[in-house]
């Protein structure tokens, strides 16, 4: 049912729909939005790996095409444009962490107003972020644990979200209460546990 709806919605989106439903939310692809304008435009998933896609980041020509599509989407807004991204999302059963799209950094900073919404998602107790025992063991040797509250001298308090690597260059991802998510090299992080 969902696939049928999406296929129908993709075929119906475009100029005809824009004229007929001016006072309604309209879902459409960036391709079908070309040539149209709306008072308010939402673009979702504006994050590395989604927009631009991972495949496009590997091929410069495709990256430029996605940059042009991003521009098309942004310029559809007559009054207000809202760009959304998630630092953490589940795709195909895997929890992934993304950075905001490189396309956002190309927008003049004085035209942006960032609003950060932080939520805490509880994971099932059987959930493990580690793909192998060696990675899990290396993380345990740091003295940190997923979900642990820590304090950093500059960024304040936060929650340990993720870990990658082994040895002196291993990194930990922390969602700080006041500044959002940051990756820090464990050996330089100067983190203290919060009890």
What's the pLDDT at 98? 81
What's the pLDDT at 11? 57
What's the pLDDT at 163? 80
Distance separating alpha carbons of residues 120 and 93, to the nearest angstrom: 19
What's the pLDDT at 31? 87
What's the pLDDT at 47? 92
| Full DSSP string of the chain | -HHHHHHHHHHHTTHHHHHHTTTS-----HHHHTT--EEEEEE---BTBBTTBHHHHHSHHHHHHHHHHHHHHHTTEEEEEEE---SEEEETTEEEE-PBPTTGGGS-GGG----------PPPTT----SSHHHHHHHHHTT--TT-EEEETTTEEEEEEEEE--GGG-EEEEEETTTEEEEEEGGG---EE--
What's the pLDDT at 124? 42
Instruction: Identify the structural domains of the chain with CATH numbers, from first to last.
Output: 2-111 (3.40.50.300), 133-193 (2.40.10)
| Strand-strand pairing, 180-185 and 192-193 | unpaired
| Strand-strand pairing, 156-164 and 171-176 | antiparallel
What's the pLDDT at 150? 92
Token reading at 50: 């989604």
What's the pLDDT at 190? 87
What's the pLDDT at 127? 42
What's the pLDDT at 172? 85
Q: Residue holding tokens 């998933």? A: 45
Distance separating alpha carbons of residues 94 and 96, to the nearest angstrom: 6
Instruction: Please list the ranges in the chain whose pLDDT falls under 50.
Output: 122-135
Cα dist from 157 to 160, 163, 193, whole Å: 10, 17, 9
Distance separating alpha carbons of residues 144 and 146, to the nearest angstrom: 7
Among the listed residues 34, 27, 124, 125, the one whose alpha carbon sits nearest the alpha carbon of residue 73: 34
What's the pLDDT at 140? 60
């Amino acid at each position: 049912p969902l696939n049928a709806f999406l296929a129908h919605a993709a075929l119906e989106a475009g100029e005809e729909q824009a004229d007929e439903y001016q006072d309604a939310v309209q879902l459409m692809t960036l391709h079908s939005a070309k040539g149209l304008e709306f008072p308010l435009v939402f673009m979702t998933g504006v994050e590395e790996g989604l927009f631009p896609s991972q495949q496009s980041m590997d091929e410069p020509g495709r990256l430029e095409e996605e940059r042009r599509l991003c521009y098309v989407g942004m310029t559809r807004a007559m009054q207000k444009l809202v760009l959304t991204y998630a630092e953490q999302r589940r795709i195909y059963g895997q929890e992934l962490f993304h950075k905001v799209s490189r396309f956002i950094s190309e927008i003049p900073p004085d035209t942006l107003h960032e609003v950060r919404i932080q939520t805490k998602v509880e994971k099932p107790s059987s959930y493990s972020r580690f793909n192998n025992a060696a990675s899990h063991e290396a993380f345990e040797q740091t003295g940190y644990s997923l979900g642990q509250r820590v304090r950093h001298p500059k960024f304040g308090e936060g929650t340990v979200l993720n870990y990658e690597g082994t040895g002196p260059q291993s990194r930990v991802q922390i969602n700080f209460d006041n500044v959002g998510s940051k990756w820090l090299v464990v050996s330089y992080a100067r983190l203290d546990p919060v009890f």
